[in-house]
Amino acid sequence: MKKLLTIILFSVFALNIFAQTDTTEVKILKKNIVTVVEDNDAVYVKVGNDRGVEIITDDWGDTTEIRMGRRTYKVIEGNNGTHVKVEKSVKEKHWGGSFNPHWAGLEVGMNMFENSNYSIYNGTEYEQFGEVFDLRSGKSLTWNLNFAEFAFKNKRKTFGVVTGMGISFNDYVFDLPVTMEKEDGYGMIVPVNISEENSSVKKSKLHVNYLTVPLILEVKTPLRMGSSNLYLAAGAIGSLYIGSHTKFKYYNGNKEKLKSNYHINQWKYDLTGRIGFGDFCVFANYSMTSLFKDGNGPEIHPLMIGISFPNI
């Protein structure tokens, strides 16, 4: 059996043969095609890579094993003749595969103000307003356009550190009929009542734009739904302020839009947590930085809960 296998293999692949004491390799264009290994107990013949064909025969020729994929065919010669036994190995669950980050795409989120502190207005005429900049959360939406992503992944491609870039467009729609302005044109941010006798306020909002850069650890789990793995992600998103304005509109059609920086913090960073399957994700971002600069407005930390459609 050993001699027959050796003659057949060498007659077909006898190109660029490299031989050592116990190992014979048959190569074509520097690629190993066949490997024959002899030891004291058996002969191993391997065709192709680790997932190719493997033939093992013992030194007496009583048993020959032919492995093809997950199946092993054993040809056994015994006292009662020759018989073939087929065995099938348990399939290993390889959940590595490719790693596809989930930052680039379109996101939409609903905004809320958390941990608000209006003590800056204590002892002033604005104290009577209370938490004046409370939001209509259902109408206070953010649209994020994440246009670039990069991933630094591990060898098994089961997790990676993800970064990239995006633009964030944030609407904060006030619940009360107010807008905001700088006191005396330069001072701290103060509320302004914009109610009119002949028409009520339809909408009043603050709009803020940011350039965003994330640093997120994303983990691909073995849990699957169809062809997609469940992934978990957490990290931070740094944001650079690039512009803002206020806008209010009455039911009679009158409206006004005013551009200003409104003492918005130039830099902010959010903590983010994400969970998703494939091209759908649910996330929450909490700002660790106050919306306004310290001493120039109330301390307000935006919270956003939304959905993401990465890779669209």
Residue 47's domain comprises 2-88
Same domain assignment for residues 215 and 276: yes
Share the mean pLDDT of the chain: 83
Q: How far apart are CA 308 and CA 283, in angstroms?
A: 7
Last residue of a domain, one of 88, 123, 140: 88
Q: How far is CA 131 from CA 26, 183, 306, in A?
A: 80, 18, 24
pTM: 0.69
pLDDT at residue 118 greater than cutoff 50? yes
Question: What does DSSP assign to residue 264?
Answer: B
- CA within 13 Å, CB half, 95: 14
- Does 100 fall in a domain? no
pLDDT at 201: 93
Last residue of a domain, one of 88, 121, 153: 88
Predicted confidence (pLDDT) per residue in 243-283, tens digit = 999 999 999 889 999 999 999 999 999 999 999 998 899 99
- Does 94 fall in a domain? no
Predicted confidence (pLDDT) per residue in 89-106, tens digit = 665 555 556 788 999 999
Q: How far apart are CA 167 and CA 259, in angstroms?
A: 19
Same domain assignment for residues 43 and 129: no
